[in-house]
Amino acid sequence: MSEFNYSNIIDYKMMNSLVTRARETNNFLIVKEYDIPHELTKTTRGKKFLFYDSGIHDENRIVVFTTDENILHLINCKIMICGYTFKSAPKNFEQIFTLQCNVRNKNLPLLYCFMRTNNEYSHNKLFEWLSKEIKEEVVKEKNIILDFERAGMNAL
């Protein structure tokens, strides 16, 4: 654990102001009965950004945003941090779940998952999808840090 630098964890106040600023400038509303708008499926450079959407009719809807480059970082990192936020989740989603890793001595969120429900079933579904569809190496043999979110702990 000596290679992990806790001083590089993003400051809460800074992260909060970034989220607030982003919410004010791009106020996209993802509602339960609509598909994800096309402009949210790709990065500004035209690369794939929407990696998974369990569908508009799924009561436990999960929407995952990441990039191919971020997936490579997730595979190669030794320690993953699971983050949860409820305040910044779009309407009709209960929480945003993030996977963060240390990249070039900075802890960065590399995968964003919008979750309609915060239950063990949804977390199991997310981790099964990560293992199967992206790479088993993303969740295999990692030190994973997460808070006391019971559903996430049980899913792992």
The tens digit of pLDDT for each residue in 60-118 reads 999 999 999 998 888 888 888 888 777 878 778 888 888 888 888 888 889 999 999 88
**Which pLDDT does position 3 carry in this prediction?**
58
Question: What is the identity of the amino acid at 88?
Answer: S
Per the structure block, which two tokens stand in for 27? 């106020």
Domain map of the chain by residue range? 6-155
Q: How far is CA 151 from CA 47, 50, 88, 120, 122, in A?
A: 32, 24, 19, 4, 8
pLDDT higher than threshold 50 for residue 152: no
